[in-house]
Structures are given as C-alpha cells and as structure tokens.
A and B are shown apart, each in its own frame.
Chain A
C-alpha cells in the first residue's frame, strides 16, 4: 500500500547511501510523477520527447488512482504554473551573467530595455504567478517584476569580477528592511486558535502565550512588500485579532474600518478611494 513512511526514505539509510552516490526511485515517486505529467504544465516545461520517455518508464507503476477522492477548495485559479521565460532566465542565472531586460508597466506601457542582473525566480502561492527579483544596474535599484510583464530577456556577457561586484551590491540591496508587529488573539476566540495560527502560518512569526491572562500574542516579522498581505489576513480574520504593536498596521486598520463604514453610510462621510494600496507603495509609508 502506498505510504510515505517507508524504510527506503529513512534518514539512516540515506545518510549511508550518500557516500556511494547510489540513489533509489520508488513506485510511489514514479506514480506521483506520472500523475503530474497529466497536468498541462508538463507540456510547457518538458520536451515532448522527454515526456514520452518518462511515460514509458512509469508504465509499470500502475498504483491505483487515488486522486478521485481528493478535491481542492477556495484556491486561486491556477493561471500560471510554468512560464516560458523560466528556462532562459535560469540559464542566465546558472551562467552567472548579466541581462538586458524589457518590461511593460502594470498599465501595459512598454519601457526601454534596461541592463541588469537576475537574482531570484519566485512563485507566489497567492497570486499563482512567477516573479523575477533582479537588480537594475542603470538605476542601481532592486526590482521585482512579474514574468507576465517581461517582454524579452537577453544574456549579456560580463567578466567574473564585474559579476561578483554587481552581485554583491544587488545582494545588499535585495534584503529589504523588515518590520515587526504584534497581533493579539481576543481571548473569547481562543477556541479558534488553530484557525488563526494557520492563517498566519505563511509568515515569519513567533507565538507567545501568556499563562496569567490566557492570551496568545503573535509576533510577526515581515518586509514592506509583505505588509499588504499581512493586512489582508488581519481583515480576513476580522474581530478575532487586534494589532497591539505596529503603528502602521494599526493606522491602516483604522482607515479600513472608517472607510468601510462610510461605504455603508454609517458615518456621514464622502466616499473616498478604496483603501487597498498595492504593496510597493506601502513599503515607503511603513517606516513610521
């Protein structure tokens, strides 16, 4: 029976095998791969010839199809699992070279080509989309661009020393300042603790439990670009949680409630533009 707890996966065995260069492949792994080859992303990520070979090798691993009993709910529509630019950008990353990149703005305007250095390819599980972190060597600034907004990328050769120098600079700049905030779970909602912790589980956090007043506090640590998602989670959880430390988040929550109530005509206020700025802009304001 398929079971992920197999002796063959045990750390005792794999540490022994490590030195010999021997590795093993189980039916479980092959049948997982077999089901993934059915996903439309396979056609984009692999050559038809490779897929044919892999199918051939997984023919005998006819483990019963168990996925009939499995459904997924409340997920984002899966817009993009692989992107055609992943391969060329990975190649530039591997070669440790620079690039000339041409992007459009969020509104669709085409920008001039820019010289730079690719740093990291990142997939957002929330947006279901790929991003490139890169360093713009003309403006000397760290960039974060959706692959969907990149029109073209070409490798530009540079010397190893120049690469190292630029890479170090990019590295330094790509570590954005981080912010801290403390969120308290209102005691009457302690019974919903696991739900609340699950909601915050994708952040860097530490939970503190105060035995005396039976209160849970979640200390969050996040970058400016993550602050928008932290806010979404706070609103998502509603009255169960309260920001107790972190002036910026408190201010944003206050603004949200004021504007939300105005929508419902609860306070005699004119409608203002919605309070839901994009991540990039909030980063600047957060330093308060």
Chain B
C-alpha cells in the first residue's frame, strides 16, 4: 500500500469539485471532520502543488468543457526530499546525453550540485537507479559490469514528428473518453514535452498542443483512480482487504486520527473486511463501486469514494474466488448498475418528437438503453423492453425522458411515476 496517504486531500478535492467551492472554511472542515487549522494547512499544501493562487476558481469557470483535468495535480502531490529533487533531475539530464555508469553519474552530480549541497555517495546513486529502473524510466544496457544506464524514451524516440503528433492526439482522446485515465493524462503531459523537443523552434506552432474539448465530463472520477489500482491488484492476487468505510449517508467524509484517546471511541469507524471481486464504474453519475464477498459469502457493495486506509489481508483459495466471481457475474447479468435484486421486466412507451424533427428520442434510447430492446414501433411511438434487476436503478433514466416516456409495466412502477409526477407538479404549481 502507498506509504504516504492522500486520503485527506482526495476527500477535500472531491468536496471542492462537487460543491464548486461554495462552503466556508468552517463548513468545509466540519464536513471533512477535521479542524479549521488542519483545513487551512491542507489548502496551503494543495495550492502549492497546483501552482494556483485561487484554485477554488478552477472549479467554477470553464469547468464544463475543460480539456485539462483540474484534479490531476493530486497525482503530482507525492513529496520528495529536497536533496532528491535536486539529484534526480541531474541524473536524468545526464542520462539523456549518453549511457552512464553509477560512478560516472556520481561524478556528474558532484560537479553540478551547488557547493553548499550535501554530496551524494555511490550507494545513493545506485538506489536512485534501482528506483528509476523499477518504474521503467531508465534501462540497463546489455553487457557486463559496470552497468551502463540509459533513459528509456524509445517510445517517443522511435517516432517521426507526424507520428508523435498522431500519438499525442490519440492519447488525449483516449485519456478523456476511456477509463482508467490518470496514466493517460500523465503520458499526455510527457508527450507535450516530447513534441516540444522534437519540433524545431522555427516550426513550432502552439496549435500542436491545443487539445480537443470534452463536454459533460465527471471530473471527480479521476480522484477514485487513486485506490483503483490497489483494489484491482488485490482482485488479481485473490486477497481480502480491510478498510475504513464512510457511507455516503454519513455527514462526515473523513475523520482525522484522534490524538486524544478520550475522544477516540466515539469517532471510531468500524473496519470492513471483504474479498474484492469487481470494480464497477457508473457512467450515469461518474462514480466507482467495489463489489465484494463478505465473510459469509454475502455480496457487499461499497462506494469507492468512501473507502480509505485500505490494507491487504489473507489470500483466498483460487476455486473459492472463481466460484464467488461466477456467482456475482450471474447475479449482475441484469444489473442496470449494481443491483443484484430480483429480475423484473420493464416496458415503457417512448413518444417520438414531432414529424418535422429528427428522432432524437429513439436515438437516445438506443444509445443509453443498454441491453433493452425495441419490441414494437409505429410512426408516433415505440415500446422498449428490458429485463433488469429491480426498478430503482433504471427509474432515473426513464424519468429523464420526461413526457416522452410512459411506463407500461410493472404496474407498481407505472403508479409510482404517476405519483411522482404529481408531486413534482405540485412544486411548480405552488410557485406560480
């Protein structure tokens, strides 16, 4: 698990992204379950990272069709020692010139570091190289000792300028339209630099980097990718996990660790333990769920945003995992989202727009109606039918069509639509 926890920052940024910075400090701190002092400290730290003096504005203006993911800077928050932040750039810059050994790199560092800085030893350089090799940034050249290291930028070095432009645009599109996307955004930022160094200054055109625009994005989705890999990794290793869970119904989304044991008990949050089976991304709201199997084999569902302090637990036998996953797949076959309740047939009549208009209703039903089918159609309307687990999750979608959708079955759902439209109608009659 990550040594440095960003749980507090993630909760904070989510709240900020969702509310557009509308709370005052007191309200913010209250919701995060931290003191105003800690709140101020977190804001200072995040400001420093984002490089923006007034970052609440980031969430307010031009937010809807921004191509730059405002929350990406969270992933640039990992702190490093001052000495490290001076040494690593020197190592990387030297390796860009030519392949070098650890000893040669030590010389290069000692020559270039300011005289007052503490000089690294060869052991430190070796451990830096080990880290860089591990994350794939440098690679050892074939041959015997002493090993020579080289910057591993083959990916961009092997491309022509035209190919690099194509790749930049492809990565931009995929990072914005697919999940997961954090690595794609990080790669895109590096490709920008690659383009800048590949194109001669005289030919440079800022238009090369102007990204496409993306409308109706759920920006907060990338915050949950922080835990995504941990959970996916545990699924792959068939391991149980334990974590603190804050239900979305809980007013506080984060609780600071209590230093005063007297107050500890009251704020103690129970740790959940589960075998993770699947992670589900919900496009309807831009949220993530983790579905798992609890101790007695019960299916349990958690919102990823409520999970913090995840810890690795015991491994389960492969046949057990396979059986649980197969059971879950079967039960989720008809889930609009994640409902594993009883399967029902929902039938609804959709009314086409007037004859002079293009039929955007049918288009939308076909686009968003998942595995449901159009079973009857005439010039004015068509009937859509779907077998789905429970009606709760499909309801909002059907209601979103307003008076273009009439629920036919089940009868109880039809009646509840009538009741709800009446109730909503009352909101507005009163306001005349």
Given known contacts A20-B93, A28-B183, is B396 in contact with A206 (CB within 8 Å)? no
User: Does the CB pair A198–B285 fall under 8 Å?
Assistant: yes
**Selected contact of B213 from candidates A121, A191, A202, A261, CB within 8 Å:** A121
**Selected contact of A4 from candidates B183, B218, B277, B338, CB within 8 Å:** B183
Instruction: Please name all residues of chain A whose beta carbon is closer than 8 Å to the beta carbon of B136 when the two chains form the complex.
Output: 25-28, 30, 60-61
User: Does the CB pair A94–B216 fall under 8 Å?
Assistant: no
Interface 0/1 of A105-149, CB less than 8 Å to B:
011000000000000111111111000000000000000000000
Interface 0/1 of A83-123, CB less than 8 Å to B:
00010001001101000000000110000000000001111
Instruction: Please name all residues of chain A whose beta carbon is closer than 8 Å to the beta carbon of B338 when the two chains form the complex.
Output: 73
CB distance from A143 to the nearest CB of B (A): 15
Residue count of chain B within 8 Å CB distance of chain A: 148
Instruction: Please name all residues of chain A whose beta carbon is closer than 8 Å to the beta carbon of B337 when the two chains form the complex.
Output: 73-74
Instruction: Please name all residues of chain B whose beta carbon is closer than 8 Å to the beta carbon of A201 when the two chains form the complex.
Output: 17-18, 218-220, 286
**Selected contact of A257 from candidates B193, B336, B424, CB within 8 Å:** B424
* CB-defined A-B contacts under 8 Å, sample of 28: A3-B2, A7-B131, A9-B78, A11-B51, A16-B86, A17-B93, A20-B89, A23-B190, A23-B197, A25-B153, A36-B171, A41-B170, A45-B166, A45-B169, A50-B166, A70-B279, A74-B368, A93-B210, A122-B215, A199-B285, A201-B218, A202-B215, A205-B60, A211-B27, A219-B22, A263-B406, A274-B352, A274-B404
Given known contacts A5-B4, A122-B213, A125-B177, is B424 in contact with A238 (CB within 8 Å)? yes
Residue count of chain A within 8 Å CB distance of chain B: 130
**Selected contact of A276 from candidates B6, B220, B283, B401, CB within 8 Å:** B401
**Which of B36-44, B61-69, B118-126, B259-267 forms part of the interface with chain A?**
B61-69
A181 within 8 A of B: no
Known: A94-B205, A235-B402. 14 other contacts (CB 8 A): A5-B4, A12-B80, A12-B85, A25-B137, A29-B183, A41-B174, A73-B283, A74-B283, A107-B358, A123-B177, A128-B177, A236-B400, A257-B428, A264-B406
B390 within 8 A of A: no
CA distance A10 to B171 in the complex (A): 21
Number of A-B contacts (CB under 8 A): 415
Given known contacts A50-B159, A58-B155, is B18 in contact with A236 (CB within 8 Å)? no
User: Does the CB pair B177–A22 fall under 8 Å?
Assistant: no
Given known contacts A10-B76, A275-B403, A276-B353, is B370 in contact with A74 (CB within 8 Å)? yes
User: Does the CB pair B278–A70 fall under 8 Å?
Assistant: yes
B373 within 8 A of A: no
Interface residues of A in 245-288 (CB under 8 A from B): 250, 253-264, 266, 273-278
Given known contacts A61-B136, A261-B421, is B19 in contact with A71 (CB within 8 Å)? no
Chain B residue at minimal CB-CB distance from A27: B136
Instruction: Please name all residues of chain A whose beta carbon is closer than 8 Å to the beta carbon of B2 when the two chains form the complex.
Output: 3, 5
Instruction: Please name all residues of chain B whose beta carbon is closer than 8 Å to the beta carbon of A74 when the two chains form the complex.
Output: 282-284, 336-337, 368, 370, 393, 397
User: Does the CB pair B367–A76 fall under 8 Å?
Assistant: yes
Chain A residue at minimal CB-CB distance from B428: A254
Interface 0/1 of B88-111, CB less than 8 Å to A:
110011001000000000000000
Instruction: Please name all residues of chain B whose beta carbon is closer than 8 Å to the beta carbon of A86 when the two chains form the complex.
Output: 169, 212
User: Does the CB pair A106–B20 fall under 8 Å?
Assistant: no
Chain B residue at minimal CB-CB distance from A72: B281
CA distance A47 to B169 in the complex (A): 13
Instruction: Please name all residues of chain A whose beta carbon is closer than 8 Å to the beta carbon of B230 when the two chains form the complex.
Output: 1, 3
User: Does the CB pair B226–A27 fall under 8 Å?
Assistant: no
Given known contacts A3-B2, A25-B155, A201-B286, is B278 in contact with A69 (CB within 8 Å)? yes
**Selected contact of B280 from candidates A47, A72, A107, A239, CB within 8 Å:** A72
CB distance from B135 to the nearest CB of A (A): 5
Instruction: Please name all residues of chain A whose beta carbon is closer than 8 Å to the beta carbon of B193 when the two chains form the complex.
Output: 21, 23
CA distance A24 to B88 in the complex (A): 11
Interface 0/1 of B393-432, CB less than 8 Å to A:
1011101111110100000001001101111110111010
Chain B residue at minimal CB-CB distance from A233: B400
CA distance A275 to B357 in the complex (A): 12
CB distance from A70 to the nearest CB of B (A): 5
Instruction: Please name all residues of chain B whose beta carbon is closer than 8 Å to the beta carbon of A2 when the two chains form the complex.
Output: 229, 233
User: Does the CB pair A50–B424 fall under 8 Å?
Assistant: no
Instruction: Please name all residues of chain A whose beta carbon is closer than 8 Å to the beta carbon of B276 when the two chains form the complex.
Output: 69
**Selected contact of B18 from candidates A46, A53, A197, A274, CB within 8 Å:** A197
B142 within 8 A of A: no
Instruction: Please name all residues of chain A whose beta carbon is closer than 8 Å to the beta carbon of B228 when the two chains form the complex.
Output: 70
Instruction: Please name all residues of chain B whose beta carbon is closer than 8 Å to the beta carbon of A125 when the two chains form the complex.
Output: 177, 214-218
Chain B residue at minimal CB-CB distance from A83: B173
Chain A residue at minimal CB-CB distance from B335: A73
